[in-house]
Amino acid sequence: MGIPTNVITPEPLITATQESRYRSTGLELFGVGVGEGLTHTSIGTLGRMASFYAAGNEQKISENEWKQSPYYREGLKHDPSLTMSKAQILATRYDGKKRTEFLQAHVKSEFNAALLNISGNIVGFMVDPLIIGPLIFFGILFFRKRKKGWKEKKAIKIAQEKRKEIWDGY
């Protein structure tokens, strides 16, 4: 698998030797994880669907036109409903996928790569309203229970002081 030069550099400058010596950094792997997490949240999924379906109002392109366009990628298949905007979206997604695959294939330690990728996924998923909503809800419930507990402790302390005053009077 070669480095996707159309993603990393505009010209194919990286030779096979340089590609084999390339090592992904931890920050790159963490960033890949965050990007995957953000992409697969409910908002990210809806955004990808909306961008793809909103781009369908143009004239459809043939397979030959698509192959001659700058958005043609070897691993993608032509769809009869493909427009130039949809081709651009598909090419961008494909390039991102290839970049992710490249970075994950050139790691020093598989364990560290998996750990950084999972950590990035968790960070990316944390902005999903389907995750944040319940966390906030249960956090508020917990805080209210704790606050109620503080009031109960204060009431118990006052009652104990009053009881002590009454008993000390006898």
* Residue 71, C-beta contacts closer than 8 angstroms, at least 6 positions apart: 84, 87, 88, 90, 91
The pLDDT, as a whole number, for residue 7 is 46
Give the closest residue to 32 by CA, choosing from 134, 104, 95.
104
Average pLDDT in the 32-50 region? 86
Query: DSSP letters of 129-158?
Result: HHHHHHHHHHHHHHHHHHHHHHHHHHHHHH
Residue 90 has which token pair?
Answer: 């598909």
d(CA 136, CA 129): 10
What are the pLDDT digits (tens) for 77-129? 888 888 888 888 889 889 888 888 888 888 888 888 888 888 888 888 888 88
d(CA 124, CA 133): 15
- Work out the mean pLDDT of the chain and round it to a whole number: 79
Instruction: Compute and round to an integer the Cα radius of gyration of the chain.
Output: 28
* Residue 107, C-beta contacts closer than 8 angstroms, at least 6 positions apart: 23, 24, 29, 113
- The pTM assigned to this predicted structure is 0.64
Q: What is each CA distance from 66 to 93, 96, 102, 139, 169, in whole angstroms?
A: 16, 19, 25, 52, 97
The pLDDT, as a whole number, for residue 149 is 65
